Amino acid sequence: MSDIVTPPSTFAANARRWSVQLAQIAAIVGIVFIAKGALAEPFYVPSASMEPTLLIGDALLATKFPYGYSTASLPIHVSLPETGRVLAATPKRGDVVVFRWPGDRSQVWVKRVIGLPGDRIELRGGVVWINGVATTIKPDGLGAAEDDNGGSEPARRYVETLPDGVSHPIFKLFDNGRLDNTAEVTVPADHLFVMGDNRDNSADSRVPVRSGGVGLLPMDNLVGRVDAIVGSWDLGVRNQPVSNWLSGFRMARFFTAVN
């Protein structure tokens, strides 16, 4: 009984076929990597700091080109020297932005832009003052602020209007919260003052990095602008039988714009 030997030409044909397939796979991976790095990238909301605008369990789509590109734009965290941004543009006041936390750039956070470079920002009694002008706050009923365990607590809902006319909802859990009164700060060049919409449950620019907050955010840390919610799942159903998990999908939030 003789062994079966594959002719050399067959080996060569198989090798070429495998090389073509590997090249195609590499091209697909490269296209996905470039698209995530240059166009848009999905992110997941794990905390309640941006409620009621963003809920725990929301899946976001952040577009990257509006603010230009830096090492923060890469879809994976890579420790590279900071070189500034290419095609840089300053966010608009009121934009919801995704950024790498200055305390650990492997972490990606989301907040709202309140102060731009040169702005003077101060809080008095929970009201934001920008360049000596108070934001307008109008009551908008009651809401429920989530917690990480799927529970909730009552929250007063307001509509805040910034001096340039941008309006968005906010939550207030307490009167005279610990971050309701702050000293005036001037936002340095190439930095932003960012805040969460859940004003009593957000470690943002009111809190220094050394204390677990954002401090004044360097614009080189920007990843992109949040334009849409592409999906949402209520994490509270995790404590229910698996048969109920499908009920956790918040279909009304799928493919909705973020303001």
Residues 6+ apart with CB under 8 A from 35: none
Q: HSE of 73 in the Cβ direction (CA atoms, 13 Å)?
A: 26
- Active site positions, annotated: 49, 111
- Determine the longest span between alpha carbons in the chain, in angstroms: 95
158 contacts 140 by C-beta, under 8 angstroms: yes
C-alpha 99: how far from chain center: 6
The per-residue DSSP string of 69-122 comes to: B-GGGSSS---------BS--PPPTT-EEEEE-TT-TTSEEEEEEEE-TT-EEE
Q: Which amino acid is at 121?
A: I
Residue at 83: amino acid letter: T
